[in-house]
Amino acid sequence: MQPLRQTWPQHLAVLYREKGYWRGETMFGVLRTAAAAAPDKLAVVGTDGRWTYRELHERAERIARGLIAAGLTPGDRVVVQLPNCAAFLSVVFGLFRAGLIPVFSLSAHRETEIAHFLRGAEAVGYIVPDRHGGFDYRELARKVKQQVTTLRHVFVVGEAEEFIGLDDLPAGEVALPVDPSPESVAFLQISGGSTGLSKLIPRTHDDYIYSFRASAEICGMTPDTVFMASLPVAHNFPMSSPGIFGAIYVGARVVMCPSPNPETAFHWIEKERVTMTGLVPPLALLWMQAAGRTTFDISSLDVLQVGGAKFAPEAARRVSSTLRCRLQQVFGMAEGLVNYTRLDDPEDLVTETQGRPISPDDEILIVDDMGQPVPAGERGLLLTRGPYTIRAYHNDPSANQRAFTADGYYRTGDIVRMTPEGYLVVEGRAGDHINRAGEKISAEEIEDHLLAHPGVFDAAVVAIPDPYLGERSCAFVIPDGPKPATADLKAFIRGRGLAEFKVPDQIVFAESFETTAVGKVSRKVLRQRLREALLSREQEEV
- The minimum distance between CB 136 and ligand J2J, in angstroms, equals 27
CA distance 492 to 503: 9
By the rule CB under 6 A, 414 interacts with ligand J2J: yes
- The minimum distance between CB 363 and ligand J2J, in angstroms, equals 16
- The minimum distance between CB 210 and ligand J2J, in angstroms, equals 13
By the rule CB under 6 A, 203 interacts with ligand J2J: no
By the rule CB under 6 A, 328 interacts with ligand J2J: no
By the rule CB under 6 A, 198 interacts with ligand J2J: no
Strands 131-132, 433-436: pairing kind:
unpaired
Question: From the list 84, 198, 412, 473, which residue makes contact with ligand J2J (rule: CB under 6 A)?
Answer: 412
Residues 125-144 that bind ligand J2J (CB under 6 A): none
By the rule CB under 6 A, 440 interacts with ligand J2J: yes
By the rule CB under 6 A, 359 interacts with ligand J2J: no
List, as one string, the DSSP characters of 38-94.
-TTSEEEEETTEEEEHHHHHHHHHHHHHHHHHTT--TT-EEEE---SSHHHHHHHHH
Question: From the list 4, 265, 334, 462, which residue makes contact with ligand J2J (rule: CB under 6 A)?
Answer: 334
By the rule CB under 6 A, 246 interacts with ligand J2J: no
By the rule CB under 6 A, 192 interacts with ligand J2J: yes
Three-point CA angle 459, 463, 466, nearest 5°: 135
Question: From the list 330, 460, 477, 498, which residue makes contact with ligand J2J (rule: CB under 6 A)?
Answer: 330
Window of 81-89, 100-108, 235-243, 260-268 that interacts with ligand J2J by CB under 6 A: 235-243
Window of 63-71, 303-311, 485-493, 501-509 that interacts with ligand J2J by CB under 6 A: 303-311
By the rule CB under 6 A, 353 interacts with ligand J2J: no
CA distance 459 to 137: 31
- CB nearer to ligand J2J: give 319 or 330: 330
Three-point CA angle 148, 150, 155, nearest 5°: 85
Per-residue burial over 131-144, b = 16 or more CB atoms within 10 Å of its CB, e = otherwise: ebeeeebbebbeeb
- The minimum distance between CB 507 and ligand J2J, in angstroms, equals 25
- CB nearer to ligand J2J: give 332 or 504: 332
Quote the distance between the C-alpha of residue 470 and its chain's center. 17
- The minimum distance between CB 160 and ligand J2J, in angstroms, equals 31
CA distance 350 to 325: 13
Largest CA distance in the chain: 72
- CB nearer to ligand J2J: give 382 or 503: 382
* In contact, 137 and 127? CB cutoff 8 Å: no
Neighbours of 470 (CB within 10 A): 22
Comparing every residue's Cβ against ligand J2J, the nearest one is 332
Question: From the list 107, 112, 184, 241, which residue makes contact with ligand J2J (rule: CB under 6 A)?
Answer: 241
- The minimum distance between CB 488 and ligand J2J, in angstroms, equals 31
- CB nearer to ligand J2J: give 98 or 284: 284
- CB nearer to ligand J2J: give 330 or 456: 330
- The minimum distance between CB 334 and ligand J2J, in angstroms, equals 4
Query: Is the preceding omega at residue 182 within 30 degrees of 0, hence cis?
Result: no
Residue 421 DSSP SS3: coil
* In contact, 152 and 181? CB cutoff 8 Å: no
By the rule CB under 6 A, 442 interacts with ligand J2J: no
Quote the distance between the C-alpha of residue 454 and its chain's center. 33
Per-residue burial over 172-211, b = 16 or more CB atoms within 10 Å of its CB, e = otherwise: eeeeeeebbebbbbbbbbbbbbbbebbbbbbbbbbbbbbb
By the rule CB under 6 A, 115 interacts with ligand J2J: no
Strands 164-165, 506-509: pairing kind:
unpaired
- The minimum distance between CB 236 and ligand J2J, in angstroms, equals 3
Binding site for ligand J2J (CB under 6 A): 192, 236-237, 240-241, 307-310, 329-334, 338, 354, 412, 414, 426, 429, 435, 440
